[in-house]
Amino acid sequence: MRAAAVQLNATADKDQNLETAEHLVRGAASEGARLIVLPEKWNVLGDAEAITAGAEPLDGPSITAVRDWARELGVAICAGSIPERSVDRARLSNTSALIAADGEIVAVYRKIHMFDVDVGGVSYRESDTEEPGEAVVTGDIADVRVGLTICYDLRFPELYRILALREARVITVPAAFTMETGRDHWEVLNRARAIENQLFVVAAGQIGKAPPHFRSYGRSMIVDPWGTVLATAPDSEGFITADLRFNRLDEVRSQIPSLANRRPESYEWPQGVTV
């Protein structure tokens, strides 16, 4: 399976974001990609006011457009994430949808881990406008199981291990990593999640200025189960592609059967521990 990671510099201009995303999705499809991953908040990115104003339900124009692209091009698309508005939730969700080549939504994941941090002299409080999801989610594209995650999730290895144990062979990581954290952590974390779970990681990031006060790191990448970076994006909008060879995944798991050698009966989750 050839996969692609699309790298965008999204803004609050939703129409322009959709136009750019469509152009890059079509370009990736023309180069043979059959799984295309968009970045986090690819349809609207900005301050809390812009995110709130641009939020949509899953049947809104952004996901509807992606479903149309998938159906027309005959490709599966992980629609990165969008700020999702729902009558069932008081706040927004940061939501990723996996869409099959027939345009049908096969899985919906709502970001579990809220980006509430202080880094580079800036405070980020995702939970001011968004609420965390509660479910670990996979979806099947043809005969390949795909695990869904979003950005800050990358720092929580237990999520990735559960996805691996649920037979994910590819994990998608749409992201908008900050420049400060991305320089030191982005590649390390993506490669670690691929190595320790012996699967492919397709990580699609935002690049460039991200109003009101930070820059996105970019460097979208595709990593194989050995931790080899198969493709890395330059510092501009565009897309990268790589072939996911699942016989290589099976080979790695045969050589170093760390998943099979787990001893869950020996692991006791700490209780009452604070950090």
3-class secondary structure, 78: strand
* Catalytically annotated residue among 78, 84, 111, 126: 111
- Read off the amino acid at residue 190: N
* HEC letters along 198-254: CCEEEEEEEEEEECCCEEEECCCEEECCCCCEEEECCCCCEEEEEECCHHHHHHHHH
Distance of alpha carbon 5 from alpha carbon 77, whole angstroms = 10
β-pair partners for 232: 221
Cα–Cα distance, 238 to 220 (Å, whole number): 10
Q: Considering 14, 40, 126, 237, which one is annotated as catalytic?
A: 40
Q: How far is CA 158 from CA 39, 94, 149, 163, 262, in A?
A: 22, 20, 12, 9, 14
Active-site residue flag, 40: yes
Spatial distance between the Cα atoms of 26 and 238, rounded to a whole number of angstroms: 11
78 is known as an active-site residue: no
Q: Where are the beta strands (DSSP E) in the chain?
A: 2-7, 35-37, 76-78, 82-84, 93-99, 105-110, 116-119, 122-125, 138-141, 144-148, 170-175, 200-205, 207-210, 214-217, 221-223, 229-232, 238-243
Strands lying side by side in the sheet with 229-232: 138-141, 144-148, 170-175, 200-205, 221-223, 229-232
Q: Residue 3 and residue 57: Cα distance in Å, rounded?
A: 27
Catalytic residues: 40, 111, 151
